[in-house]
Chain A
Amino acid sequence: MVPDQSFQHAHSAHCESGVMSLMMHHYGLPLSEAMVFGLSGALMFAYLPFVKLGGMPLIAYRSRPRAIIKGLQKNLGIKMKMQTFSQPAKGTKALDSLLEQGEIVGAQTSVFWLPYFPEEMRFHFNAHNLIIYKKEGDEYLISDPVFETPVRCETQALQKARFVKGVMAPKGLLYYPVHVPETINYAVVIPKAIKKNAKAMLKTPVPIAGIRGIRYLAKAIGKLEQKDRRYAKLFLGHIVRMQEEIGTGGAGFRFIYASFLQEAGKLLGNPLLGETSQMMTLVGDQWREFALMLAKAIRSKESQTTDFLALQTKLESVADAEAAVYRKLLEGNLV
């Protein structure tokens, strides 16, 4: 595709929505990160005790990796070319030739193997997204949306980061748009995406996802009383990390969604969306209060006891508040 302008980096809260927002801007469709996040219906919660990440259960505050890319295609009629590779060398060659053709290319990578990441933030998380927009000598120029400014990375290092194996293995995934619509009928797509997302959060058939997933995690916290103390503390710390550190975290996603509701409300001139945006902001604040309680618990001394029941109760009240937002969105008239 022919870009609208030379590539512009922007600082985003979350990698996948950031990448898609930057790409859409590049090809003449100015979609904010919040709009990308909301229109792809990416807000979620899932607690998967049987999927382990570094020995701890997976807790996700948004839909699974690649869901934003896929959701945008489905809901907005954008078409993306997505390619994975069986051999690392082939993956690097394909990337280089796309860059030579002037494309900007999205890629999935492992955080651990990206040398520009702060040393203390490098963990084995394999679903980090970024844009490669140029190659100079042996170095790629990379727009990593969660960094303030563009970064650089050597060929070998990026290849390693693209081809790690394991949970959510990227398999060298590259992606770029092949069709971007010029206009979007927001009056149709916004209500549809919101209703669908609210329904997914409220009416999941499985107890591990949506609001039920939040309650399930709350119960698991209550049960920590009987577990080994070190494990209990690590578990609580793990929740904070999943919530605040990876990507942008649970509270962060609630704020992005609140920003989306506000923007959508303005676009459609709908006061209900503005109102629910404020409600969602308060939900995000409550998630942060919960994180603060967890941090106090993990920093507590050996002699101090942790009130797991209080943590459980707090998380249950967060679930109640979040459910109220979705109910209001489902019941209200969004057009």
Chain B
Amino acid sequence: MDNSKVPQHNISTYANNKKAIYATDENGKYGIIASSGWDVEEAATKQALKELERLSSQAYDQALSGQASPLYFHMYDRRMDLQTLAQATGMFQWRIKRHFRPTAFDKLSAKMFARYADTLGISIQELRELPDRRANGA
């Protein structure tokens, strides 16, 4: 790629950071150019974020109406899915799925709450509740 073609689109997903791109100067010599981002990458990143937001918002509604446990919401809120959560906790998927049911979730031991909270990087209290506002992707 030519130096002059290195995209400088100041994309929001970089939050003012820059990425190093290999490009050639007028003599064809390679060097590193700092790029403020390409809108093509931004579109793809935003699409993935939007999908995660859609899932967590759906989960929020289900948890609010009592169809699902708060765990179901927090999983998506932390940008995970069932597979990622299962691997990160070291638990079987069917077991976690049970805990998506409010009745099973409420009966969990303190140890299990701690395990989920630790994996998700939130406190036990946060895990057992839904956040008030539907902000931050919720």
Contact = CB atoms under 8 A, between A and B. Distances in A.
Contacts of B44: 237-238, 240-241, 244-245, 294-295, 298
A74 interface: no
B77 to A, nearest CB: 12
Contacts of A241: 41, 44-45, 48
Contacts of B83: 52, 55
A244 B41 contact: yes
A205 interface: no
Contacts of B20: 11-13, 146, 248
A291 B17 CA distance: 21
Contacts of A298: 43-44, 47
Given A119-B15, A121-B13, A255-B23, A148 B34 contact: yes
B44 to A, nearest CB: 4
Contacts of A47: none
A137 interface: no
A165 B47 contact: no
B88 A288 contact: no
Contacts of B80: 124
B84 A240 contact: no
A101 B72 CA distance: 45
Contact of A120 (B15, B18, B19, B51): B15
A234 B22 contact: no
Interface residues of B, number: 41
Contacts of B1: 251, 255, 281, 284-285, 288
A116 B30 CA distance: 29
Contacts of B43: 237, 240, 295, 298-299
A256 B22 contact: yes
Interface string A59-92: 0000000000000000000000000000000000
A233 B54 CA distance: 15
Contact of A166 (B17, B51, B88): B88
B34 A13 contact: no
17 contacts: A12-B20, A13-B19, A34-B22, A52-B83, A160-B121, A237-B44, A237-B47, A244-B44, A255-B1, A255-B30, A256-B22, A281-B1, A288-B1, A288-B40, A295-B39, A298-B43, A298-B47
Interface of B: 1, 12-15, 17-24, 28-30, 32, 34, 38-41, 43-49, 51, 78-81, 83-84, 87-90, 121
Interface of A: 11-13, 34, 52, 54-55, 112-113, 118-124, 146-148, 160, 164-167, 169, 233-234, 237-238, 240-241, 244-245, 248-249, 251-252, 255-256, 258-259, 262-263, 277-278, 281, 284-285, 288, 291-292, 294-295, 298-299
